[in-house]
A and B are shown apart, each in its own frame.
Chain A
Amino acid sequence: MLEASATNGKTDDVWIPSACRICYSHCAIRVHRVDGVVVKIEGNPDSPANKGRICARGLSGMMQLYDPKRLNVPLKRTNPNKGIGVDPGWVEITWEEALDTIAERLKKTRAEDPRKLLCAASVAVWDAMHVNLCFTTAFGSPNYFFTGAGTHCGNAEHLMSGVLHGAFTCQPDPDYCKYLLNFGVPVGCGAHYANNAMAQRLADARVNGMRHVVIDPWMGMAAEKADEWIPIRPGTDSAMALAMLNVILNDLGIYDVEHLKHHTNGPYLIGGDGHYVRHSKSGKPLVWDAASGQAKEFDDASVGDFALEGTYSANGVSAQPAFALLKEHVQRYTPEIASEITTVPAATIRRIAKEFAEAARVGSTIVIDGKTLPYRPASVVYFKGSQGHRHATLSAMAFELLGEVLGAANVPGATLGANSRSLGFPETGRPAYSPFADRDGLCAPGAWVTPDPPLPLRQSRKPEAAHFQDLVSTVCVCSPLIPFGMLEPEKYGIPYKVDMVIQTGSNLVTTLADPRVMERALRGAFVVNFNIFLDESAELADIMLPDASYLERHDIYLESMHSIVPTGWWHSTVAQPIVEPMYQRRPAQEMLLELARRAGMLGDMYSVMNVFYGLHEPYLLDPNETYTWEEVIDRRYKSLFGPERGLEWFKKHGVLSWPKKVEETYWAPFVKVRAPIYFEFLQTAGEDIERVKKECGIQEFETSDFQPLPDWKPCQSHVEPRKDFDLYCLYYRVPFHTFTSTYNNPWLDEISRIDPYVYNVTMNTETARKKGIADGDWIEIESAGTGVTAKGRVRVSQCVHPEVIAVGSGGGHWSRHLPVASQSEKGVCFEWLLPLNFDYVDTVSFNQDLCVKVKATRMAEQPRKTGTGWTVAPVPPGLLP
């Protein structure tokens, strides 16, 4: 147990337990404060999650706290002209003036139409994000948007994790996995969820014999540590997965029959229209009982033997089990065809398929804590890179089915939903949630990060929100299309125009593809921005408010399902102020509550917080009372963990942990739900969207990808007609940065400069030679998608696919208030190359397509050097006119 204590005879010399907030993994930390100054941050050894470990970002937190370029006072814009690179003409104002001005705008907007407010938050400022959501909902607006990776989140992965694993995301089982098939995820290698916690566990798994195979165009952090790296053409991973599936199902004939029969919709009968054949009265999907030779409802206890193959007559129509259709469907993906698409040799595809299928040990069992469970020590993981494409959902389906047909899901050794099921803290039974069956018996998540899990399927509605998630009901995370709802609401039948925006920490301009689109969208609104820096998005703001950093404020640790490793222990922490907020900084959470009070909506705010934070009597917030932010946190913890474990307990002890039960970690055998291997609900959703589109006269949002079985389809970059745009440009996550938010940190900058690649662009050695480009040359990179040309210094390497230029994520800043970050040798802002339009968005999940075709040309001379580095005035560094 850690306790704050004074030692060494100094006035103030304490180690204080808290939680890191530099990324969304929220590792437990302890912070050393001497005479009022933070001097060191370490991982908290009391946490069973990160076990005392912490990454470079976490160690560098004090440099963010004391950064001399922090925003320290409220500012008001004086220049009415807004735009990228336009000086806002900031003048200092008091908090009183700022809050009064904002509150008056809020009252006016709320009286006119509350839907005109849009709030944006960042996963890098996690707790303000949730208070912001409560604020938006209480205000009465549907327009809430949280970013961090901007639109580069794993939308399709989240969708599939929800319906197949009952969780927001997935992790491999570090305790029992023996074969990790990794489609481009830096899991346990410095990024991805719970990264410090997974790093040691996956390293241990490697020592214990786990084979790690990484398929990725770029040899990133995972591939460089793996047993095997398989370079692949960007956006084609699903073609390889489908060919592997074909080999597994049709050549090797390896699949888990019992799992498919009892834990998937594989036996559901599918009619000629692609839909389930349903019982005429109950409407339940039918299966074929081979034992009795009859069609029965899927949950009929008398079914003796679920048929997985064959053709049957049910309800007067000819039908086949879903599994039979899947097996037949993938036959078209031979390894040879996939090889042409992916550049991966057919023999390699066959070999990996065989290794993976055999590693799953179909039919084997293991005894854990006295319970006999299926043992499937093979796992598939994927995320942003491999599914970040135009047809993201179809790709995600393909990856998931590799594990699902082998029964390798939510059992020991397999892919695990990241904390799908909680039976609660032993003393209170809270939080308690579990996947549950929707009306068709399919897996619906018991908990979700937003109010909108993918199942049960919502009905499509006429667009009312600028993000269109009411129209496209399958979108359960972020929407890159939000600027279009802001700019042209009438085109989509949205009955108002957003005219006020409140941001907490999000840098929308540099994280939402082509910055010019968001620039246009924000120009027409009154923008309030809580931030710790004057970043690029500040240029579009009307009022800037100095936020407190995570070392200056209280934060709730919100049982973020994805932030905890899937095995071992549950844990909860709290972030507490190590020092008081300096200068005029104030926590956004507290200021949002104050704005709610001044706008006359505090009672509504409390009503929403009661729901969102799951408060219980006697800790419910009374709409007629007033509470501090600390009191809200205290009630949250007491609601979960009982009266003895409120905020003060957590501030003193730091971490509350308890062991996970087998029924939580390996929940599949204990919960009666079925995973879809045939995604009939998507076909239903697509038809529903078409109905609404027709009613509203909407042309966009085409629905051809709303299909029940996966396919590989080319992205925009694959069909680029101009032959001189011959390279794919992609970005990769940098393990020591969190999106764009950490590039002004001098310690992280130093690491980035030492690393040969982060601030440069990487090109394959042979490709560079053919183009007459040498290591260290500067090149122009022209985007086929945006027409923008960026520049970068080349590092040549064999660790990148020959058709690829790889760019580190989050760099290429241009705000003059970020002097460490905003130097043109500090990376390329990839967003300038990435178009933001309907052709680059997956229509099912709204996943942003992250791959763009470019042409690279050697620059005759180096760019002009100025006092602060390489700059190309007057446009932002990293761009050419």
Chain B
Amino acid sequence: MEARVRLTGMVRHLIGEGECRASLADDAAVEDLLRALVERYGEKLGERLFRAPGELSGSVRIFVNNQAVTNLKQKLGAGNAGTAQISIVVLSPVSGG
């Protein structure tokens, strides 16, 4: 299956682009996609996405086919076209009050 990923937020300076594609096994889960992205873009991205091994950072939000996802084991579930639409938003500490 193919995952079409939009990466937004505090990762742009690491990846240099906002959208990418990844080819994955048909039964790939969210964690497989994230692992593939870290392999492609480097460990700096991994530090941004994960709080600890296997534990998503509190500032990361993931949507798979427009559904919010918190369980990394969840299958990506490509649609009929064999493509999963993924949106990953990395929020950053902000200052205000």
The A-contacting residues of B in range 59-74, CB under 8 angstroms, are 59, 61, 63, 66-67
B21 within 8 A of A: no
- Whether A470 lies near B93 (C-beta < 8 A) is yes
Q: Secondary structure of the B side of the interface?
A: mixed
Contact partners of B67 in chain A: CB under 8 A: 617
The B-contacting residues of A in range 355-393, CB under 8 angstroms, are none
- Per-residue interface assignment for chain B, residues 4 to 16, with 1 indicating a CB less than 8 Å from any chain A CB and 0 otherwise: 0010111111000
- Whether B92 lies near A142 (C-beta < 8 A) is yes
Contact partners of A137 in chain B: CB under 8 A: 8-10, 89, 91-92
B97 within 8 A of A: yes
B35 within 8 A of A: no
CA distance A452 to B51 in the complex (A): 14
B96 within 8 A of A: yes
A114 within 8 A of B: yes
B18 within 8 A of A: yes
Contact partners of B94 in chain A: CB under 8 A: 133, 136, 142, 144-146, 450-452, 467, 469
- Whether B95 lies near A478 (C-beta < 8 A) is yes
Q: Smallest CB–CB gap between B61 and chain A, Å?
A: 5
Q: Smallest CB–CB gap between A249 and chain B, Å?
A: 32
- Whether B92 lies near A482 (C-beta < 8 A) is no
* Given known A608-B89, A610-B63, contact A477–B9 (CB-CB < 8 A): no
Q: Smallest CB–CB gap between B67 and chain A, Å?
A: 7
- Per-residue interface assignment for chain B, residues 47 to 64, with 1 indicating a CB less than 8 Å from any chain A CB and 0 otherwise: 000010000001101010
- Whether A478 lies near B96 (C-beta < 8 A) is yes
CA distance A800 to B30 in the complex (A): 62
Residue of B nearest to A168 (CB): B97
* Given known A470-B93, A608-B89, contact A113–B6 (CB-CB < 8 A): no
- Whether A140 lies near B10 (C-beta < 8 A) is yes
**Selected contact of A142 from candidates B10, B18, B51, B61, CB within 8 Å:** B10
What band does the interface of chain B fall in when counting residues whose beta carbon is under 8 Å from A? 20 to 34
Contact segment of A153-161, A427-435, A700-708, A762-770: A153-161
- Whether A465 lies near B91 (C-beta < 8 A) is no
Contact partners of B18 in chain A: CB under 8 A: 601, 603-604
CA distance A129 to B96 in the complex (A): 10
- Per-residue interface assignment for chain A, residues 564 to 601, with 1 indicating a CB less than 8 Å from any chain B CB and 0 otherwise: 00000000000000000000000000000000000001
- Whether A450 lies near B92 (C-beta < 8 A) is no
Instruction: Please count the residue pairs between chain A and chain B whose beta carbons lie under 8 angstroms apart in the complex.
Output: 117
* Given known A451-B59, A610-B87, A617-B67, contact A138–B96 (CB-CB < 8 A): no
* Given known A458-B58, A611-B91, A620-B66, contact A477–B10 (CB-CB < 8 A): no
A607 within 8 A of B: yes
Contact partners of A59 in chain B: CB under 8 A: none
- Whether A153 lies near B93 (C-beta < 8 A) is no
Contact partners of B8 in chain A: CB under 8 A: 137-138, 140, 604, 607-608
Contact partners of A140 in chain B: CB under 8 A: 8-13
Contact partners of B87 in chain A: CB under 8 A: 607, 610, 623
Contact partners of B96 in chain A: CB under 8 A: 121, 123, 129, 133, 144-147, 153, 449-450, 477-478
- Per-residue interface assignment for chain A, residues 112 to 124, with 1 indicating a CB less than 8 Å from any chain B CB and 0 otherwise: 0111000001010
A459 within 8 A of B: yes
A479 within 8 A of B: yes
A261 within 8 A of B: no
A45 within 8 A of B: no
Q: Smallest CB–CB gap between A461 and chain B, Å?
A: 8
Q: Smallest CB–CB gap between B53 and chain A, Å?
A: 13
- Whether A113 lies near B13 (C-beta < 8 A) is yes
CA distance A590 to B95 in the complex (A): 23
CA distance A417 to B96 in the complex (A): 19
- Whether B6 lies near A607 (C-beta < 8 A) is yes
CA distance A862 to B71 in the complex (A): 70
Residue of A nearest to B89 (CB): A611
- Whether A110 lies near B12 (C-beta < 8 A) is yes
A456 within 8 A of B: yes
- Whether B13 lies near A465 (C-beta < 8 A) is no
Q: Smallest CB–CB gap between A836 and chain B, Å?
A: 15
Q: Smallest CB–CB gap between B37 and chain A, Å?
A: 16
- Whether A623 lies near B6 (C-beta < 8 A) is yes
- Whether A456 lies near B6 (C-beta < 8 A) is no
Max chain B C-beta neighbours (<10 A), residue from A138, A142, A469: A142
CA distance A608 to B87 in the complex (A): 9
Q: Smallest CB–CB gap between A242 and chain B, Å?
A: 26
Q: Smallest CB–CB gap between B8 and chain A, Å?
A: 4
- Whether B97 lies near A153 (C-beta < 8 A) is yes
Q: Smallest CB–CB gap between A353 and chain B, Å?
A: 31
**Selected contact of B89 from candidates A141, A154, A607, CB within 8 Å:** A607
CA distance A138 to B92 in the complex (A): 11
Residue of A nearest to B92 (CB): A142
The A-contacting residues of B in range 1-49, CB under 8 angstroms, are 6, 8-13, 18
CA distance A144 to B92 in the complex (A): 9
Q: Smallest CB–CB gap between B15 and chain A, Å?
A: 9
Residue of B nearest to A469 (CB): B93
Contact partners of A113 in chain B: CB under 8 A: 13
- Whether A467 lies near B97 (C-beta < 8 A) is no
CA distance A626 to B60 in the complex (A): 25
The B-contacting residues of A in range 456-499, CB under 8 angstroms, are 456, 458-459, 465, 467, 469-470, 473, 475, 477-479, 482
Besides A465-B92, A465-B95, 10 more A-B contacts (Cβ < 8 Å) are: A114-B12, A137-B92, A144-B92, A153-B96, A158-B97, A449-B97, A451-B92, A452-B94, A477-B96, A604-B18
Binding site for B on A (CB under 8 A): 110, 113-115, 121, 123, 129, 133, 136-142, 144-147, 149, 153-155, 158, 449-452, 456, 458-459, 465, 467, 469-470, 473, 475, 477-479, 482, 601, 603-604, 607-608, 610-611, 617, 620, 623
Chain A to chain B contacts (Cβ below 8 Å), 10 pairs: A129-B96, A133-B94, A137-B9, A137-B91, A138-B8, A138-B9, A477-B97, A604-B18, A608-B8, A620-B66
Q: Rank and list the top 10 A-B pairs by shortest CB-CB distance, nearest first.
A: A140-B12, A146-B96, A477-B97, A153-B97, A142-B92, A467-B95, A469-B93, A478-B97, A451-B91, A144-B94
